[in-house]
């Protein structure tokens, strides 16, 4: 086993308060301080934006919907993934059932897949489907993507007023809730800021609530610059958490009605080399540790949360084989997992996945092994452990004997935590959770926050919204709002919309020269989108998926090249299989997400070893890199000689016009020097002069990643090679 560095984390208790006047709660319920403070802030007229930074597991969801449950307002909940929205729908419905008010709030959930299915079944256009689902509802759960595109005029038809949908939705709903917002990057934060500015300028008196244990300071500062009146509900700063040292202190807190949020945790840091298979190798070599956990502590439930879906796919059958003799069930839980697979995971003893949905909530655990890729992710994943004393099984109460976590972390983090001259942690020390979280935030690798994105690209979305407010059908109605919106955006993003308009025109002219087309503006379209385009996304028919309806998936080409064994397929055959499956099982399968896929494939299995590959370009990349700007390239291909189907991919790929940014440095160098996040999408590329180089001398990023890379180069290019020198 790699050397383990063990510490103990104290239990966490959250202060509760007497029920405020006018608030109705179920019998024997009480509110945590932060829940009551959030309710008070939302009821205060001179507060526009509320940030709740309570710790993971301390009931931020109830804080968000408490006013709705009182029957006082309507709310939209915006969640970064459809799985989280589905999970929260179940949670909110359980609240509604507990509160048992005569007039219960009605709840609807809306994803792009739900929307497409609903529209097809009801014979409605998407516009009508959205209006139907959103109307006559007190709670609408969706994702920020749909919210963004509604305000950018999506889902309506030519001739409609641009505000036909968003105008009604913004008026009907009083509260806009953004959950788990820390997972988003600068482009998404810029989008939310723009949308909030539009709502404030066109509809008065709306409230915005952000829920995150690790809030983004860029967002808060930008909103304050824009004139939003913000309040942060921070129970840590108000000493509303206690971390008792002894059972007697715990009993005293319980007698004073403090609520337990987390139990005592034994946390082991496992120091690993930062290589692709380090965690997977460690887990295989130390499988007996997991077996002994279940043998020593009967009734244990565990989770292994990793960064790579491919590793999860390889480890799941490995541990199924090892734990089967002990009659222990192993299931997976990833972003690609079907709803039925996730439901099955609730009956497992060990769940292996990339997703934390259900883990620590419905799937109660006392044993956790996890990877992480930044401080916020580390804190969020560790927060899934220790929430419950046990669980019910066949009517019997099973009590957990202990709570143990293994953090699989790069060796540099262990060095910073334990091995420096004055280490912030020592082996076998006891630490409270707040101190520990601050240490992790300070010592984990500091990734780039792309602060320059807002000034460089954020106002492109502003201009698009401003332009739509100029539409003849609403121009007069929103004349004053348009002026206010322009002023606010220019102040927040520190640029003029006139200069942005000039850049957009220049991009359009370049595109027309390259493509010979009068329509389209790919760079502007990427900058105005929420998550960016997915030019390398492929349609997959997953033969490893047991549920037929869930076999139709999308997957990015780089991940396919590295991790998957596939067979090429045609779009026609893929869509025909989709329609035939939907008809045979009597269940609609949305197909809209496959409309712009690069290629279609059958997924047969996940590779044991990652395959190397790189992009290639038949011309000289030097002049392109020396331009220091986002550009559109055609003629890019893949080099992977051991791949029998690569030429079929290249036939599709070389025709694509790709929004990209090229830097004359190897990928590893760019990642390290610019402090890029682990999952930042940047890849190696060679040109005609470097085709045979062992290490590709250039790096390329596409779509939003290209825009983000541009913000760094835009800021640093004046320094020349200084930025690349240690």
pLDDT at 342: 59
- For the chain, give the mean pLDDT: 90
Which backbone phi and psi does 433 adopt, to 5 degrees? -70, -35
- Nearest one of 5, 3, 9 to 426, comparing CA atoms: 5
What's the CATH code, domain 46-233? 3.40.50.300
Higher pLDDT, residue 129 or 33: 33
User: Would you give the end-to-end CA distance of the chain in angstroms?
Assistant: 33
pLDDT at 119: 62
Domain boundaries of the chain, sorted by first residue: 46-233, 264-431, 453-517, 537-606, 614-724
Q: What gap in Å lies between CA 282 and CA 273, rounded to an integer? A: 11
Q: What gap in Å lies between CA 705 and CA 630, rounded to an integer? A: 10
pLDDT band at 343 (very low <50, low <70, confident <90, very high): low
Question: How many residues are recorded in the chain?
Answer: 726
Tokens of 86: 């589905």
Residues 6+ apart with CB under 8 A from 677: 185, 373, 374, 447, 448
pLDDT band at 84 (very low <50, low <70, confident <90, very high): confident
Residue range 244-293, pLDDT digits in tens = 999 999 999 999 999 999 999 999 999 999 887 899 999 999 999 999 99
Q: Is 396 helix (H, G, I), strand (E, B) or coil?
A: strand
pLDDT band at 127 (very low <50, low <70, confident <90, very high): confident
Q: What gap in Å lies between CA 439 and CA 163, rounded to an integer? A: 47
pLDDT at 411: 93
Instruction: Indicate the pairing of strand 390-393 with strand 600-606.
Output: unpaired
Which DSSP string corresponds to 95-120?
HHHHH--SSPPPEEE--HHHHHHHHH
pLDDT of residue 717 exceeding 70, the answer is no
Of the listed ranges 146-155, 300-309, 364-373, 460-469, the least confidently predicted one is 146-155
Q: What gap in Å lies between CA 706 and CA 448, rounded to an integer? A: 14
- Nearest one of 433, 456, 339, 431 to 378, comparing CA atoms: 433
pLDDT at 117: 73
The class level of CATH for 264-431 reads alpha beta
Instruction: Indicate the pairing of strand 698-702 with strand 658-663.
Output: antiparallel
Crossing angle for the helix pair 309-323 and 287-296, to the nearest 10 degrees: 50
Residue range 426-439, pLDDT digits in tens = 999 999 999 999 99
Helix segments in 100-237, DSSP class H: 112-122, 126-134, 144-151, 166-172, 186-202, 217-225
Instruction: Indicate the pairing of strand 302-305 with strand 350-353.
Output: parallel
CB 587 within 8 A of CB 548: no
Which DSSP string corresponds to 668-694?
HHHHHHTT--TT--EEEEE-TTTTT-S
pLDDT at 156: 81
pLDDT of residue 726 exceeding 50, the answer is no
Q: What gap in Å lies between CA 635 and CA 633, rounded to an integer? A: 7
| Domains 46-233 and 264-431 belong to one CATH topology | yes
Burial class (CB in 10 A: 0-12, 13-18, 19+), 109: buried
Q: Is 78 helix (H, G, I), strand (E, B) or coil?
A: strand
Torsion of CA 180, 186, 187, 190, to 10 degrees: 90
Count how many Cα atoms sit within 13 Å of the Cα of residue 462 in the half-sphere of its side chain. 32
Q: What gap in Å lies between CA 381 and CA 279, rounded to an integer? A: 16
Q: What is the pTM of this model?
A: 0.92
Which backbone phi and psi does 252 adopt, to 5 degrees? -65, -45
Count how many Cα atoms sit within 13 Å of the Cα of residue 298 in the half-sphere of its side chain. 4
Residue range 459-515, pLDDT digits in tens = 999 999 999 999 999 999 999 999 999 999 999 999 999 999 999 999 999 999 999
* Cβ atoms within 10 Å of 505's Cβ, excluding its own: 12
How far does Cα 260 stand from its chain's mean position?
A: 28
pLDDT of residue 242 exceeding 50, the answer is yes
Tokens of 637: 């291909």
Cα distances from 310 to residues 61, 189, 323, in angstroms, run 32, 29, 20
Q: Please, what is the Cα angle at 548 between 546 and 551, to 5 degrees?
A: 85
Torsion of CA 242, 243, 249, 254, to 10 degrees: 50
Of the listed ranges 99-113, 117-131, 190-204, the least confidently predicted one is 117-131
Please state the rounded mean pLDDT for residues 13-20.
Answer: 95
Please compute Rg for the chain using Cα positions. 26
Residue range 36-64, pLDDT digits in tens = 999 999 999 999 999 999 998 899 999 99
Tokens of 212: 């995150």
pLDDT at 165: 86
């Amino acid at each position: 086993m790699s050397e383990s560095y063990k510490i103990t984390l104290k239990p966490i208790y959250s202060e509760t308060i007497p029920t405020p006047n006018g608030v109705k709660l179920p019998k024997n319920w009480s509110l945590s301080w932060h829940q009551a403070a959030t309710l008070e802030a939302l009821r205060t007229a001179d507060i526009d934006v509320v940030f709740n930074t309570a710790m993971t597991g301390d009931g931020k969801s109830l804080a968000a919907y408490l006013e709705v449950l009182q029957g006082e307002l309507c709310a939209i909940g915006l969640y970064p993934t459809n799985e989280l929205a589905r999970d929260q729908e179940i949670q909110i419905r359980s609240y509604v059932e507990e509160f048992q008010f005569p007039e219960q709030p009605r709840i609807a959930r809306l994803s792009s897949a739900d929307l497409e299915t609903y529209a097809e079944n009801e014979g409605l256009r998407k516009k009508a489907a959205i209006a139907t689902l959103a109307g006559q509802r007190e709670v609408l759960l969706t994702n920020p993507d749909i919210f963004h595109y509604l305000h950018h005029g999506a889902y309506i038809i030519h001739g409609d007023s641009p505000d036909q949908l968003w105008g009604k939705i913004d008026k009907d709903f009083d509260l806009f809730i953004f959950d788990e917002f820390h997972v988003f990057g600068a482009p998404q934060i810029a989008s939310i800021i723009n949308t909030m500015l539009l709502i404030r300028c066109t509809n008065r008196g709306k409230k915005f609530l952000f829920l995150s244990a690790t809030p983004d300071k860029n967002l808060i500062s930008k909103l304050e610059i824009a004139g939003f009146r913000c309040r942060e509900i921070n129970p840590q700063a108000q000493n509303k958490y206690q971390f008792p040292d002894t059972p007697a202190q715990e009993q005293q807190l319980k007698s004073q009605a403090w609520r337990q949020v987390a139990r005592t945790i034994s946390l082991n840091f496992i120091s690993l080399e930062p290589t692709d298979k380090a965690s997977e190798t460690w887990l295989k070599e130390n499988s007996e540790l997991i077996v002994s956990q279940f043998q020593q502590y009967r009734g244990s439930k565990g989770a292994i949360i990793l960064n790579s879906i491919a590793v999860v796919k390889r480890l799941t059958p490995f541990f199924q084989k090892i734990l089967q003799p002990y009659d222990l069930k192993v299931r997976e839980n990833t972003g690609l997992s079907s709803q039925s697979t996730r439901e099955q995971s609730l009956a497992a003893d060990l769940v292996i996945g990339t997703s934390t949905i259900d883990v620590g909530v419905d799937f109660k655990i006392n044993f956790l092994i996890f990877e992480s890729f930044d401080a916020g992710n580390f804190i969020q994943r560790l927060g899934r452990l220790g929430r419950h004393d046990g669980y019910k099984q066949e009517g019997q109460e099973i009590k957990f004997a202990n709570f143990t976590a293994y953090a699989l972390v790069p060796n540099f983090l262990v060095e910073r935590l334990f091995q420096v001259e004055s280490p912030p942690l020592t082996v076998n020390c006891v630490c409270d959770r707040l101190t520990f979280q601050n240490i992790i935030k300070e010592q984990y690798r500091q990734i780039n926050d792309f602060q320059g994105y807002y000034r460089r690209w954020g106002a492109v979305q502003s201009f698009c919204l401003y332009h739509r407010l100029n539409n003849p059908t609403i121009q007069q109605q929103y004349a004053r709002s348009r002026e206010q919106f322009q002023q606010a955006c220019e102040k927040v993003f520190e640029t003029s919309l006139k200069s942005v308009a000039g850049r957009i025109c220049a991009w359009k002219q370049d595109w027309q020269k390259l493509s010979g087309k009068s329509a389209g503006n790919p760079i502007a379209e990427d900058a105005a989108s929420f998550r960016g385009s997915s030019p390398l996304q492929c349609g997959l028919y997953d033969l490893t998926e047991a549920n037929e309806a869930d076999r139709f998936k999308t997957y990015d080409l780089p991940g396919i090249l590295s991790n998957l064994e596939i067979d090429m397929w045609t779009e026609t055959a893929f869509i025909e299989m989709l329609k035939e499956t939907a008809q045979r099982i009597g269940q609609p399968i949305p197909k809209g997400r496959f409309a712009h896929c690069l290629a279609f494939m059958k997924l047969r299995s996940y590779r044991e070893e990652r395959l190397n590959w790189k992009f290639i370009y038949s011309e000289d990349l030097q002049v392109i890199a020396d331009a220091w700007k986002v550009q559109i390239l055609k003629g890019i291909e893949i080099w992977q000689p051991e791949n029998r189907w690569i030429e079929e991919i290249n036939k599709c790929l070389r025709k694509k016009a790709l929004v990209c940014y090229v830097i004359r440095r190897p990928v590893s160098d760019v990642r390290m020097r610019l402090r890029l996040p682990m999952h930042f999408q940047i890849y190696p590329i060679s040109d005609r002069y470097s085709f045979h180089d062992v290490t590709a001398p250039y790096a390329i990023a596409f779509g939003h990643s290209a825009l983000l890379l541009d913000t760094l180069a835009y800021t640093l290019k004046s320094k020349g090679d200084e930025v690349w020198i240690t």
